[in-house]
Structure formats: C-alpha cells, structure tokens
C-alpha cells in the first residue's frame, strides 16, 4: 500500500482537536500500545493535557495512520513520545516524517524513552543512549537524548527557514 498524506502533518494542542479526531487518535494509540503489544498499562497518562503538549499526526480517508506527541518540561527539555503507526500504513516512512517535522519545532535537548528494539531507528535522527535500559510496563526501553548540535534530518528541511 502506498500512503502519501499531505505535508505538513496536523499539529494541534488538545483544545484544537475535535472530539471525533481525538477519539480516533487515542484509539490508534490504544490499539497498538495496549492491544497489539499486549501491554495493559494506563495509556491515558495525563500528559495529553499539558499546555506544552502538541499532537502530531497524518490521516487518510479512514482516519489517523501515524501519530506522536511532544511536550516540554519545566526545565526546557522536550519529550517525544507515543510514536505510533497503524499496521496498514507501516513501512511508508510516516513516523520518520513526523519526527523530522516535530524536531524542527523543538529548541534545546529532546529526550525519548525508546522501545529498545527501536533505538537504532531513533539514532538515525541523532539521538544517543542516555542511560541504562529500563523495563517499563513489561517492555524494555532505552533512554535516549538528542542535543541540538546532534540533529540529523532524514527527509530534508521542513522548517521553512
């Protein structure tokens, strides 16, 4: 299947997302992180409500097909998380496009708790290991950090600069 959603992706705060779209985004996250990965955990963790949280996604005629969220903590460290692609859209590079676009908007260091099997995937953007692997909700994760000078764009400059 060839998936070609428009660029740029949708990027909104929670209050800018209509209820049907929000439901579809949360459904995608639960379908993959809880059901597909057989991992019962509190997917709705409260971070979606943070004023700094931005929700990024691509959708097609059936709904959201790839998603991530970003937020910035009080120390100015940005977090990328909940990176997910629907099974029917995997292999099209959508998550990489979302990461590229999101990183273009973030200043300062960026951290991610990468599922360990995806650490090399995050490394292609310039993320490096930032500690020992940890088990979260039964899944091995690698803490990773990206400093602004280490940023690598995979898909070109999306910043408009």
pLDDT in tens, 122-144: 999 999 999 999 998 888 999 99
Full 3-state SS string of the chain: CCCCCCCCCEEECHHHCCHHHHHHHHHHHHHHHHHHCCCCCCCCCCHHHCCCCEEEEEEECCEEEEEEEEEECCCCCEEEEEEEECHHHCCCCHHHHHHHHHHCCCCCCEEEEEEHHHHHHHHCCCCEECCCCEEECCEEEEEEEECHHHCCCCCCCCCCC
Q: To the nearest whole number, what is the mean pLDDT of the chain?
A: 89
Residue 96 near residue 155, CB atoms below 8 Å: yes
The percentage of the chain sitting over the pLDDT mark of 70, rounded to a whole number, equals 91
Domains identified in the chain and CATH numbers: 10-150 (3.40.630.30)
pTM value > 0.75? yes
Confidence band of 113 (pLDDT split at 50, 70, 90): very high
| Residue 158: per-residue pLDDT | 44
Q: Is the pLDDT of residue 5 over 70?
A: no
Q: Is the pLDDT of residue 115 over 70?
A: yes
Higher-confidence position of 55 and 152: 55
pLDDT in tens, 88-104: 999 999 999 999 999 99
């Amino acid at each position: 299947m060839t998936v070609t959603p428009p660029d740029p992706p949708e990027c909104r705060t929670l209050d800018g997302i209509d209820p049907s779209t929000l439901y579809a985004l949360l459904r995608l996250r639960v379908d993959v992180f809880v059901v597909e990965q057989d991992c019962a955990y509190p997917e709705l963790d409260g971070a979606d409500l943070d004023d700094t949280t931005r929700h990024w996604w691509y959708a097609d005629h059936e709904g959201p097909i790839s998603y991530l969220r970003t937020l910035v903590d009080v120390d100015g460290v940005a977090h990328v998380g909940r990176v997910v692609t629907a099974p029917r859209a995997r292999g099209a590079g959508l998550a990489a496009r979302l990461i590229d676009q999101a990183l273009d908007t973030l200043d300062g260091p960026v951290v991610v708790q990468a599922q360990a099997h995806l650490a090399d995937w995050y490394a292609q953007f310039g993320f490096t290991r930032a500690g020992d692997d940890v088990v979260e909700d039964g899944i091995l994760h690698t803490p990773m950090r990206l400093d602004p000078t280490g940023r690598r764009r995979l898909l070109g400059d999306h910043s408009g600069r």
